[in-house]
Amino acid sequence: MKSASMSDEDSTVDCDVQLKGTSKCQLRSMPARVEGLTKRRLAANARERRRMQGLNTAFDSLRKVVPQWGEDKKLSKYETLQMALSYIMALNRILSEAERYGDGEDWSALHHYEQFHQDHCQNFLALSSPDVYDHFLTESFSH
């Protein structure tokens, strides 16, 4: 997508991979030591790319299990983490309340769960501000 047009399956030296401003021709004419360094840099770039792709895959998995407020709007990474955090806290709270009031047959918690997506998204919107978020954390843990 970005500047480099590199293949994903590269592990050490990819023929299509080029260091910024370094042509394949230049690469071939380089002294062996410099060429070695260049190859290692390119391999490191490829590893870093794969690592970040793995991280993004994990973010996508997280997005799938976290509430979203719109089908079209994809949560940013930051928003995904914040949403996951407050989602977990909310579920935790539901469990705590079910333990406190329920005997196992009390499904009032389920009602809370149904309400969750609405409330949660509203909460999350409020979390856009760090100050409000801190307040939300305090409130959540105080229960």
Partner DNA sequence: TAGGCCATCTGGTCCT
Partner DNA sequence: AGGACCAGATGGCCTA
Residue ranges that bind DNA, judged by CB under 7 A: 1-4, 6, 12, 17, 19-20, 40-49, 51-53, 56, 76-79
Q: How far is the CB of 109 from DNA (least distance, A)?
A: 32
Q: How far is the CB of 52 from DNA (least distance, A)?
A: 5
Q: What is the DSSP string of 63-132?
A: HHHS--S-SS-PPPHHHHHHHHHHHHHHHHHHHHHHHHH--SS-THHHHHHHHHHHHHHHHHHHTTSHHH
Q: How far is the CB of 26 from DNA (least distance, A)?
A: 13
Measured from the CB atom, the residue of 42 and 94 that comes closer to DNA is: 42
Measured from the CB atom, the residue of 43 and 85 that comes closer to DNA is: 43
Cβ-Cβ contacts under 8 Å for 84 (sequence gap 6 or more): 62, 66
Measured from the CB atom, the residue of 75 and 109 that comes closer to DNA is: 75
The burial class, CB within 10 Å (0-12 / 13-18 / 19+), for 113 is middle
Q: Do 14 and 6 meet the contact criterion of CB atoms below 8 Å apart?
A: yes
Q: Do 46 and 11 meet the contact criterion of CB atoms below 8 Å apart?
A: yes
Q: How far is the CB of 98 from DNA (least distance, A)?
A: 34
Measured from the CB atom, the residue of 4 and 95 that comes closer to DNA is: 4
